[in-house]
Amino acid sequence: METETWIERVIINQLTTHDRRYKHDYGGVEETTDELLADCAELDAITAESEESGPELPSIEQMLTAEADLEPEVENTLKTLQERGLIERVRERKRLGPPLEMGDYGTTIVWKPTVEGRAEARAIREAYSAEVEALVESYDEKSDEFREEIISVAKTHGILPSHF
């Protein structure tokens, strides 16, 4: 794997997660900087909540705080991934504001994975699967410790869980 941080892996994974209904050659999805920032904040908040109190979803205030805290790091990571040729900038898109509130909210960049980025995503998912399989084999039954280990592995590999 070329990626080094969980934020890099979240971005690569989110840009290469596809709808399994489509069987043709898959080239990835396009996501904006704002969407990728929200994905990173969601994984960070979910894993922080899991470590502290259990499987509760973070509040909107917690998500907004997490996004604000992570924004500079995510933007730098996007630039780094672009320089390494794992993602590419597609275009800029007008940022949408709150419903029924007109105004200029600026623009956000739209990103998509490159061929190298899709190969990196494959490597990340294979490493994640191998670690999860090893964990499943090492625990006889599901426990809180097992759950914490799975959550840690998910964050390390930037895998945004669908549920806990």
24 pLDDT more than 60? no
Question: What's the token pair of residue 39?
Answer: 């994905």
**Diameter of the chain by CA atoms?**
56
Domain boundaries, the chain: 6-156
CA angle 74, 77, 82 (to 5 degrees): 130
30-73 residue pLDDT tens: 888 888 888 888 888 777 755 555 556 667 887 888 888 889 99
- Tell me: pLDDT of 79 over 90: yes
The per-residue pLDDT for 163 is: 46
* CATH fold of the domain at 6-156: Arc Repressor Mutant, subunit A (1.10.10)
Question: Would you place residue 164 in the very low, low, confident or very high pLDDT band (cuts 50, 70, 90)?
Answer: very low
Partners of 110 in beta bridges: 32, 91
Q: What is the pTM of this model?
A: 0.79
Instruction: For residues 16-41, give the mean pLDDT.
Output: 73
